[in-house]
Structure 1
């Protein structure tokens, strides 16, 4: 009897061991990102709206299923469309790849969960993991989209991220005394060589007359414009803006970027050299 029990014990031990290994391995096949913002400022062109939202996303590399939960609030009207669009980086638009509008609540504030197969045709795995798809919710007032949210997975070896980089007058050279402030979130993809950014600013003393990435220059030094994004930049004293730029090795170089030698700058007529500046530092 004892021999039989020992055999069963050994079997269950092996089952538990393999089950434990399986549980340990599963997270390696799944990438997740919670709290991705949805906002009118991510639309192109940017939309002025009180609507907000966020998305939680999970992608399983084994089953090729993208699972997501969207939350939104204070849309200007009942949704008229809800989709995944791509392929497009921040600051560019693209067509519909997954239409889930029929299933969502037709409410100005709501939540919705679903999943879609990353089939390699409509949605491609490599492009998904490189941040080239986005959620979009459309309304009658904003038929091109009222709030948008880029699908980005930050915890990957080829991605570097910095959140909440400060924009302030004290970083200008010479320093500027100003109540204006701002922040920048940046993400650099070493595979695609794409630098994506999301800027927020408030309380500028005058309407913006320029917005750029400058370099190469460390803190305390000035340099010329390397990326001019003023065309679609909101001409407002407070606002938000999202875009991306190629790190082409000419205007913007990867080594210098990763070493903190570029900076954002917002200019206006009262401060033609820049009112607030923020160094890009990972």
Structure 2
């Protein structure tokens, strides 16, 4: 083999190695997990027994790779200032009450800034299962209704 042919073969081999590596990854898969982003939403309505024209909406997502839930909560026409907001759960039927799972606001004492409430938090595998199964709800507490003024069940999809 001539020297120039040998150089050419060496260059071609250098180009093939990355392609062979990529082909191997595509054919055999990778150990790197792909994140799945699951969209979340909730329509917030008055808590049973509370007289208010308040309403709201939560949109967000859950990242399966980082176990992180993100949210954005809008609300309107509440009777007084928001003092706190949370994800609560687990519940099995509408209207049930449950404990706090994740604070959507900073813990009190504080008056909240006006909407939106935006944030994120890492959740446990059990919490993620409950959240994605529709067992959590958003609850917004106000100064006039400290037990909660509006709430809505968290559902997956758009």
Q: Same fold (TM over 0.5)?
A: yes
Q: Does 1:101 align with 2:108?
A: no
Count of aligned positions: 144
Q: Which residue of 1 aligns with 2:119?
A: 114
Mapped to 2, the partners of 1:53 and 1:9 lie a distance apart of 56
- More helix per residue: 2
Deviations 1:250-272 (A, max 9, x none): xxxxxxxxxxxxxxxxxxxxxxx
Gap runs ≥5 in structure 1: 156-282
1:105/1:112 contact within 8 Å kept: no
Mapping of residues 53-202 of structure 1, within 5 Å? 53-88=56-91, 89-102=93-106, 106-107=112-113, 109-120=114-125, 124-154=127-157
Whether the aligned pair in 2 keeps the contact of 1:105 and 1:111 (CA below 8 Å) is no
Distance in 2 (CA, whole Å) between partners of 1:92 and 1:153 is: 19
* Alignment map for 1:24-43 (pairs within 5 Å): 26=34, 29-34=36-41, 36-40=42-46, 43=47
Contact 2:83 2:111 in 1 (8 A): no
1:73-118: CA deviation from partner (whole Å, max 9, x where unpaired): 22221111111111123211112122232289824x4112222222
Q: Where in structure 2 are there 5+ consecutive unaligned residues? A: 1-6
Q: Partner of 2:81: helix, strand, or coil? A: coil
> Secondary structure of 1:101's match?
coil
For residues 142 and 23 of structure 2, what CA distance do their matches in structure 1 show? Answer: 52
CA gap 1:48/1:130 in 2 versus in 1, 3 angstroms: same
Higher normalized contact order (CA 8 Å, seq sep 6+, divided by chain length): 2
How far is the alpha carbon of 1:46 from its aligned partner? Answer: 4.4
- Counterparts of 1:46 and 1:129, CA distance in 2: 28
Provide the secondary structure at the position in 2 that maps to 1:59.
strand
> Post-superposition shift, 1:67?
1.6
136-145 or 92-101, larger mean C-alpha shift: 92-101
Q: Quote the offset at 1:17 in angstroms.
A: 8.9
Pick the structure with more strand per residue: 1
Residues 9, 118 of structure 1: alpha-carbon distance in 2 compared, 3 angstrom cutoff: same
Q: CA RMSD in A?
A: 3.2
Are 2:104 and 2:118, in contact at CA under 8 Å, matched by a contact in 1? no
**C-alpha displacement at 1:48, in angstroms?**
2.9
Describe the shift of the 1:113–1:132 C-alpha distance in structure 2 as closer, same or farther (beyond 3 A).
same
Per-residue deviation, residues 135-188 of structure 1 (Å, max 9, x unmatched)? 111112211111112111158xxxxxxxxxxxxxxxxxxxxxxxxxxxxxxxxx
Give the direction of change, closer, same or farther, for the CA distance of 1:100–1:129 in structure 2 (3 Å limit): closer
How many Å separate the matches in 1 of 2:19 and 2:81?
Answer: 55
Residues 8 and 141 (structure 1), Cα distance of their counterparts in 2 relative to 1, 3 Å cut: same
TM-score of the two chains, using structure 1 as the length reference: 0.43
